[in-house]
Amino acid sequence: MTTPVNPAQVNRAGLGRADYRGQPSTLCQGCGHNSIANQVVNVAYELGIVPENIMKFSGIGCSSKSPAYFLNRSFGFNGLHGRMASLATGALFADTSVHALGVSGDGDTASIGMGGFKHLIRRNAPMTYIVENNGVYGLTKGQFSATAEVGLNLKHQGTNQYMPVDICMEALAASATFVARSFAGDPKQLKELLKAALSHNGIAVLDVISPCVTFNNQENAFHSYSWSKDHSAPLHEISFIPKLAEIRLEEEFEEGTVKEVTMHDGSVILIKKLEKEYDPTSRANAFQMIEEATANNWLVTGLIYINSEKPTLTDLYHLPETALNRLGESDLRPARTTLERINALMF
Amino acid sequence: MTTPVNPAQVNRAGLGRADYRGQPSTLCQGCGHNSIANQVVNVAYELGIVPENIMKFSGIGCSSKSPAYFLNRSFGFNGLHGRMASLATGALFADTSVHALGVSGDGDTASIGMGGFKHLIRRNAPMTYIVENNGVYGLTKGQFSATAEVGLNLKHQGTNQYMPVDICMEALAASATFVARSFAGDPKQLKELLKAALSHNGIAVLDVISPCVTFNNQENAFHSYSWSKDHSAPLHEISFIPKLAEIRLEEEFEEGTVKEVTMHDGSVILIKKLEKEYDPTSRANAFQMIEEATANNWLVTGLIYINSEKPTLTDLYHLPETALNRLGESDLRPARTTLERINALMF
Amino acid sequence: MADQVVNDFSVTIATVNGSGSQTANVTLLRALFKMGIPVSGKNLFPSNIQGLPTWYTIRLSKNGHLARRDEHEIVVALNPASFGRDLAAVLPGGAFFYADDIQQSVERTDIAVYPMPVKALARAADVSANLRDYIANMVYVGVLAQMLGIDLGAIQQALDFHFKGKEAPVKSNLGVVQAARDWAAENLKKSDPYMCEPMNATDGYIMSDGNTAAALGAIYGGVQFAAWYPITPASSLAESLNVYLPQLRKTANDKQTYAVLQAEDELSAIGMAVGAGWAGLRAMTSTSGPGVSLMTEYAGLAYQAEVPIVVWDVQRTGPSTGLPTRTAQGDLTQVYFLGHGDSQQVMLLPASVQECFEFGWRAFDLAERLQAPVFVMSDLDLGMNQWMTRPFEYPGQPMDRGKVLWEKDLEELNGVWARYKDLDGDGIPYRTVAGNRHPAAAYFTRGTGHDEHAQYSEDPATWEANLARMKKKYGTARTLVPKPVIDTLQGAEIGILSFGSNDPAVEEARILLNQAGGPQSDYLRLRALPCTQEVSEFIKSHARVYIVENNRDGQLRQILSAAIPDQAPRLRSACHADGLPLTAEWVRDAILAQEED
Amino acid sequence: MADQVVNDFSVTIATVNGSGSQTANVTLLRALFKMGIPVSGKNLFPSNIQGLPTWYTIRLSKNGHLARRDEHEIVVALNPASFGRDLAAVLPGGAFFYADDIQQSVERTDIAVYPMPVKALARAADVSANLRDYIANMVYVGVLAQMLGIDLGAIQQALDFHFKGKEAPVKSNLGVVQAARDWAAENLKKSDPYMCEPMNATDGYIMSDGNTAAALGAIYGGVQFAAWYPITPASSLAESLNVYLPQLRKTANDKQTYAVLQAEDELSAIGMAVGAGWAGLRAMTSTSGPGVSLMTEYAGLAYQAEVPIVVWDVQRTGPSTGLPTRTAQGDLTQVYFLGHGDSQQVMLLPASVQECFEFGWRAFDLAERLQAPVFVMSDLDLGMNQWMTRPFEYPGQPMDRGKVLWEKDLEELNGVWARYKDLDGDGIPYRTVAGNRHPAAAYFTRGTGHDEHAQYSEDPATWEANLARMKKKYGTARTLVPKPVIDTLQGAEIGILSFGSNDPAVEEARILLNQAGGPQSDYLRLRALPCTQEVSEFIKSHARVYIVENNRDGQLRQILSAAIPDQAPRLRSACHADGLPLTAEWVRDAILAQEED
Ligand SMILES: Cc1ncc(C[n+]2csc(CCOP(=O)(O)OP(=O)(O)O)c2C)c(N)n1
Ligand SMILES: Cc1ncc(C[n+]2csc(CCOP(=O)(O)OP(=O)(O)O)c2C)c(N)n1
Ligand code: SF4
Ligand code: SF4
Ligand SMILES: [Mg+2]
Ligand SMILES: [Mg+2]
Q: Distance between CA atoms of D524 and D506, rounded to whole angstroms? A: 10
Q: Is residue B255 part of a domain?
A: no
Average pLDDT over residues D569-596: 97
What is the tens place of the pLDDT at every residue in D411-452?
999 999 999 999 999 999 999 999 999 999 999 999 999 999
Examine the pLDDT at B3 and tell me if it is beyond 70.
Answer: no
**Position B241 pLDDT exceeds 70:** no
> Would you give the end-to-end CA distance of chain C in angstroms?
41
Q: Is A62 in the pocket of ligand 1 (CB under 6 A)?
A: yes
Is beta strand C521-526 parallel, antiparallel or unpaired with respect to C494-499? parallel
Together in a domain, C274 and C341: yes
Q: Is B203 left (phi over 0), alpha (psi -120 to 50) or beta?
A: beta
Q: Are residues C522 and C549 in the same domain?
A: yes
DSSP-derived letter for residue C462 is H
Q: Is the pLDDT of residue A219 over 70?
A: no
Choose the residue to mutate in C49, C228, C231 for probing ligand 2, maximizing ligand atoms within 8 Å of C-beta: C231
Counting the structural domains of chain D, the total is: 4
Is C334 in contact with D340 (Cβ distance < 8 A)?
yes
Q: Which has the minimum average pLDDT: A226-230, C583-587, D46-50?
A: A226-230
Are D381 and D353 part of one and the same domain?
yes
Contact state of D255 with B329 under an 8 Å Cβ cutoff: no
Last residue of a domain, one of C185, C203, C221: C203
- ipTM, two decimals, is 0.96
pLDDT tens digits, one per residue of D346-393: 999 999 999 999 999 999 999 999 999 999 999 999 999 999 999 999
Specify if C402 maps to a domain: no
- Looking from the CA of residue B33, the nearest atom of ligand 2 is 21
DSSP H or E segment with residue B258: strand B258-262
Q: Is the model's pLDDT at B251 over the cut of 70?
A: no
Select from C17, C52, C168 the Cβ nearest to the Cβ of B227. Answer: C168
C480, C498, C520 - which closes a domain: C480
Do residues A107 and A137 touch, judged by C-beta distance below 8 A? yes
In a domain, C396, yes or no: no
**C159 shares a domain with C132:** yes
Q: Closest by alpha carbon to C221, among C430, C394, C431? A: C394
Cβ <8 Å between A112 and D130: no
Asked if D263 and D229 touch (Cβ cutoff 8 Å), the reply is: yes
**Is the Cβ–Cβ distance between B58 and B65 less than 8 Å?**
yes
Of B115, B123, B169, the CB nearest to A173: B169
- Residue B216 confidence (pLDDT): 67
The pLDDT score that the predictor gives to residue D131 is 81
Mean pLDDT within D159-188: 94
Percent over 70 (pLDDT), chain C: 100
Interchain pair D49, A236: CB under 8 A = no
- Residue D207 has its nearest CB partner, among B327, B342, B346, at B346
What's the whole-number mean pLDDT along residues D244-263? 97
Q: Say which of B111, B174, B287 has its CB closest to residue A287.
A: B287
Residue D397 lies in a domain: no
Q: Which of A62-66, C16-20, C546-550, D246-250 has the lowest mean pLDDT?
A: C16-20
Dihedrals phi, psi of C588, to nearest 5 degrees: -55, -50
Contact D265 A112 (CB under 8 A): yes
Q: How confident is residue C165, by pLDDT bands cut at 50, 70 and 90?
A: confident
pLDDT at C316: 98
CATH code: domain of residue C547: 3.40.50.920
Element (H, E) at D91: strand D90-99
Task: Clarify whether residues C106 and C195 are in a common domain.
Answer: yes
Annotate C530-588 with DSSP letters as a single string. SPPHHHHHHHHT-S-EEEEESSSS-HHHHHHHHHSGGGGGGEEEEE--SSS--BHHHHH
Chain B residues within 8 Å of chain C (Cβ atoms) = 26-29, 60, 62, 80-82, 111-112, 114, 137-141, 143-144, 146, 156-158, 214, 222, 225-228, 230-237, 239-243
Quick one: which atom of ligand 3 is closest to the CA of A139?
Answer: 4
Report the distance separating Cα A134 and Cα A132, nearest Å: 7
B6 pLDDT band, cuts 50/70/90, is low
Contacts with B140 from chain C: Cβ below 8 Å:
230-232, 235
Residue A222 has pLDDT above 50, yes or no: no
Residues D230 and D255 in one domain: yes
Mean of pLDDT over chain B: 87
Rounded to an integer, the average pLDDT of A87-108 is 98
What is the domain range of residue D146? 5-203
Mean pLDDT across chain C, nearest whole number? 96
pLDDT of the residue at A218: 46
Query: Which ligand 2 atom sits closest to the C-alpha of C321?
Result: 25
A199 in a structural domain: yes
Pick the residue from chain D with its C-alpha nearest to A137: D230
* pLDDT value at A320 more than 50: yes
Identify whether D399 is part of a domain: no
Rounded to an integer, the average pLDDT of C456-480 is 98
Chain A residues whose beta carbon lies within 8 Å of the beta carbon of residue C207: 346-347
Give the closest residue (by CA) to ligand 4 atom 5: B27
**pLDDT tens, position by position, A118-145:** 999 999 999 999 999 999 999 998 898 9
Name B262's bridge partners: B268
Q: Is residue B283 a part of any domain in this protein?
A: yes
Q: Distance, CA D304 to ligand 3 centroid (Å)?
A: 42
Please tell me if residue D344 touches chain C, with a CB cutoff of 8 Å.
yes
Q: How confident is the model at residue A160 (pLDDT cuts 50, 70, 90)?
A: confident
Does residue A256 lie within any of the structural domains? no
Residue type, A183: F
Return the axis-axis angle of helices A84-92 and A114-122, rounded to nearest 10°: 30
pLDDT at residue B149 above 90? no
Kindly state whether D261 is in contact with chain A, defined as any CB-CB distance less than 8 angstroms: no
Please report residues of B whose CB lies closer than 8 A to that of C318. Answer: none
Q: Are residues C213 and C190 in the same domain?
A: no
What would you measure as the largest C-alpha separation in chain A, in angstroms?
83
What is the pLDDT of chain A when averaged over all its residues?
87
What would the pLDDT profile of D484-516 be if each residue is shown by its tens digit? 999 999 999 999 999 999 999 999 999 999 999
Q: Is the per-residue pLDDT at A236 higher than 70?
A: no
Whether D402 is in a domain gets the answer no
What would the mean pLDDT of A81-94 be, rounded to a whole number? 98
Cβ(A145) to ligand 1 under 6 A? yes
pLDDT, tens only, A285-319: 999 999 999 888 888 999 999 999 999 999 999 99
- Same domain for C118 and C20: yes
Of B154, B210, B239, B67, which is closest to residue C50 (Cα–Cα)?
B239
The answer to whether residue B257 is domain-embedded is no
The residues in C 543-582 lying below 8 A from D, measured between CB atoms, are: 551-553, 555, 557-559, 561-563, 565-566, 568-569, 571, 576-580
Q: Is B263 on the interface with A (CB under 8 A)?
A: no
| Per-residue pLDDT at A263 | 72
Whole-angstrom distance, CA of residue D295 vs CA of residue D338: 9
> Which chains reach chain A with 3 or more Cβ–Cβ distances below 8 angstroms?
B, C, D
Subunits next to C (3 or more Cβ pairs <8 Å) are A, B, D
Question: In angstroms, what CA-CA distances link C144 with B64, C5, C28, C120?
Answer: 40, 15, 9, 17
Cβ-count burial of D3 within 10 angstroms (0-12 exposed, 13-18 middle, 19+ buried)? exposed
d(CA B238, CA B154): 13
Q: Which residue has the higher pLDDT, C131 or D177?
A: D177
In the predicted structure, residue C49 carries a pLDDT above the cut 90: no
Domain-located, residue C225? yes
CATH of residue C182:
3.40.920.10
Q: Which of D355, D389, D423 is the C-terminal boundary of a domain?
A: D389
Mutate to test the interface with B, among A291, A341, A345 (most CBs of B within 10 A): A291
Residues D494 and D566 in one domain: yes
| Biggest alpha carbon–alpha carbon distance for chain D | 87
Q: What is the 3-state secondary structure (H, E, C) of A33-81?
A: HHHHHHHHHHHHHHHCCCHHHEEEEECCCHHHHHHHHECCCCEEEECCC
Are D85 and D50 in a shared domain?
yes
Residues of D in contact with A139 (CB under 8 A): 47, 49
Instruction: Compute the average pLDDT of residues C279-305.
Output: 98
Q: Are residues C331 and C367 in the same domain?
A: yes
Q: Do D320 and C305 touch (CB under 8 A)?
A: yes
Give the chain D residue whose CA is nearest to the CA of B50. Answer: D437
Residue B173 placed within a domain: yes
Q: Do D434 and B55 touch (CB under 8 A)?
A: yes
The alpha carbon of C22 and the centre of ligand 3 are apart by a number of angstroms equal to 61
D566: distance to nearest CA of chain C, Å?
4
Query: Per the CB < 8 Å rule, is C323 touching D46?
Result: no
Q: Is residue C395 part of a domain?
A: no
The answer to whether the beta carbons of residues C322 and D342 sit under 8 Å apart is no
Mark whether D250 and D104 lie in a shared domain.
no
Complete edge-to-edge strand list for the sheet that includes strand C373-379: C259-262, C225-228, C283-287, C309-315, C373-379, C346-348, C528-529
Boundaries of domain holding B127: 7-239+277-316
D265 in contact with A at a CB cutoff of 8 Å? yes
How many independent structural domains does chain B possess?
A: 1
d(CA D476, CA B73): 32
d(CA C63, CA C508): 10
User: Which residues of chain D make contact with B97, given a CB cutoff of 8 A?
Assistant: 435
What number is the average pLDDT over the span B227-253? 53
| Contacts for C414 with CB less than 8 Å, ≥ 6 apart | none
Cβ-Cβ pairs closer than 8 A, B with C, add up to 110
Q: Find, in chain A, the residue whose alpha carbon is nearest to that of B176.
A: A163
CA of A226 vs chain C CAs: smallest distance (Å): 35
Determine whether the interchain pair D265/A111 forms a contact, defined as Cβ–Cβ distance below 8 Å. Answer: yes
d(C-alpha B195, C-alpha B189), whole Å: 10
Write the burial class of residue A151 (CB in 10 Å: 0-12 exposed, 13-18 middle, 19+ buried).
Answer: exposed
* pLDDT score of A6 more than 70: no
C146 or B233, which is more confident: C146
Residue B112 forms contact with A (CB below 8 Å): yes
Q: Residue B290 in contact with residue A172, Cβ under 8 Å? A: no
How far is the alpha carbon of B316 from chain D, nearest alpha carbon, in Å?
A: 10
Instruction: Identify which ligand lies nearest to the alpha carbon of A215.
Output: 3
Interchain CB contact of C36 with D (< 8 Å): no
The pTM for the full model equals 0.96
Q: Using CB atoms and an 8 Å cut-off, which of residues 41-100 of chain D contact chain A?
A: 46-52
The enclosing domain of B182 has a CATH number of: 3.40.50.970
pLDDT of amino acid A253: 78
C398, part of any domain: no
Confidence of residue A239 (pLDDT cuts 50, 70, 90): low
- More confident: C526 or A30: C526
- pLDDT attached to residue A196: 95
Q: What is residue B243's predicted lDDT score, i.e. its pLDDT?
A: 66
Tell me, what's the pLDDT at B231? 29
The total number of residues shown for chain D amounts to 597
Q: Are the Cβ atoms of C328 and D320 closer than 8 angstroms?
A: no
The answer on pLDDT for B124 being more than 70 is yes
